[in-house]
Amino acid sequence: MERWDVVVVGGGPAGAACAAAARQADPAARVLVLDRAHFPRDKVCGDGIAPEAFDVLEGLGIDRAVLTAGYPAVERLRLRGPGGASVERAMHRPAHVVPRVVLDERLLTAALTSGAEFRRHTVRRLDVHPTHVDVDGVLEATVVVGADGAESVVRRMAGIPRNRPTRTAIAIRGYAPEPAQGTGVQLITTTAQRWPAYAWSFPLGDGTANVGYGELVSSGITRGGLLAGLERLLPGVAPVGVKGHRLPLSNGRPRQPDGRLLLAGDAASLINPLTGEGIFYAVLSGMLAGRAAVRGATAGAAYRRALRARLGRHLAHSSLAAGLSRWPRLMDAAFRAAGQDQRIFDDVVHLGLADGRLTARTLAAAVRALR
């Protein structure tokens, strides 16, 4: 049977970062990326990419200018709270909006220049042995990394159940002319109705935007309800190419087990529970998983430690903030405080899009604004 050092299941952001990192950590490692899709392929997403995601990728030798070519930076973000409090400011560092059908192919192509190989293959079964993992009876891998997204087969094979419905969101997205409420800015708007729920409009720079709407799965929302929610928050928007997908949130993430099966990105439930952002966490966890994967039998434990060291504090803070955000008045108070102080705005953005903390100054200002 064919033998590989690292088999990465999934060629999205987590898988691409993982493959590049494994080759960077051990240039002699034989690394194979498997994906059921032929690239370029679409992925249901808001297409908004935090600058910190590009920082991680640049550490792997993947150039942000190549990934974002043709898509201008978006400097400003407008947030609207469930009670109507609204703030618009320049972000500390601009974000980008690149359709995933474009981004993921560029990213995978860049990652494969590191010397990893790609094969189209749908993984269905893994058998873990003391010395290796058998992949569908056709490949043997020293370590397998599950970067296979929200419905991860690798996770199921590792015996880890899905997130609970209260820890999973579902959202639709489509493409439309930029809505009048948010021209040239990233817009995230929420409503007290069906809270917690939000809509977004992320401009592509050509007069169109990625627009979408999401809620928790536990709300029992249907596709019709998601479309109605989008119309309620962005009236008159008429998207094409509307598709839905689940978002496993990081406040329901499982423990990474020891051993030869690693989980990264959505497969590891690493989506920010405040904002639904997942690309930064996918490339960061993919990078850490790739570095650990070349260590063989001890990979799982090494990866768990690395993830905790790099993201543990942030994950605790974003989970706490997600719990507090269930109180809509506090969200409005935080947005009012962000409107009064750029540093609080920056803290809120950093917590929602990258590895920031729920800072004391944000909490104190939100409590003051509440009064």
Ligand X SMILES: Cc1cc2nc3c(=O)[nH]c(=O)nc-3n(C[C@H](O)[C@H](O)[C@H](O)COP(=O)(O)OP(=O)(O)OC[C@H]3O[C@@H](n4cnc5c(N)ncnc54)[C@H](O)[C@@H]3O)c2cc1C
| Chain residue whose CB lies nearest ligand X | 278
Nearest to 255 by CA among 184, 315, 211, 332: 315
Nearer to ligand X, 43 or 80 (CB): 43
Give the contacts of 94 (CB within 8 A, at least 6 positions apart).
Answer: 51, 73, 74, 75
Stretch that binds ligand X, among 24-32, 39-47, 66-74, 217-225 (CB under 6 A): 39-47
Q: Of these, 174, 179, 203, 212, which contacts ligand X (CB under 6 A)?
A: 212
CB 20 → ligand X: shortest distance, Å?
13
Q: Does 179 bind ligand X (CB under 6 A)?
A: no
Q: Of these, 8, 22, 147, 262, which contacts ligand X (CB under 6 A)?
A: 147
Q: Does 148 bind ligand X (CB under 6 A)?
A: yes
Give the contacts of 48 (CB within 8 A, at least 6 positions apart).
Answer: 95, 96, 97, 186, 200, 202, 210, 277, 279
Q: Of these, 15, 82, 196, 290, which contacts ligand X (CB under 6 A)?
A: 15
Distances (CA, A) of 334 to 242, 308, 338, 362: 32, 28, 6, 7
Q: Does 211 bind ligand X (CB under 6 A)?
A: no
Distance CA 11, CA 32 (A): 10
Q: Are residues 120 and 36 in contact, defined by beta-carbon separation less than 8 angstroms?
A: yes
Q: Does 329 bind ligand X (CB under 6 A)?
A: no
Stretch that binds ligand X, among 3-11, 82-90, 110-118, 335-343 (CB under 6 A): 3-11
Q: Does 276 bind ligand X (CB under 6 A)?
A: yes
Nearer to ligand X, 149 or 300 (CB): 149
Nearest to 187 by CA among 171, 173, 198, 196: 198
Distance CA 308, CA 59 (A): 19
Q: Of these, 14, 85, 112, 176, which contacts ligand X (CB under 6 A)?
A: 14
Nearer to ligand X, 123 or 363 (CB): 123
| Residue 213 DSSP one-character state | E
Backbone φ/ψ region at 206: left (φ over 0), alpha (ψ -120 to 50), beta: alpha
Q: Does 248 bind ligand X (CB under 6 A)?
A: no
Q: Of these, 36, 76, 93, 232, which contacts ligand X (CB under 6 A)?
A: 36
Distance CA 184, CA 209 (A): 9
Binding residues vs ligand X (CB under 6 A): 9-15, 34-37, 43-48, 122-123, 147-149, 153, 171, 173, 212, 245, 247, 265-267, 271, 276-279, 282
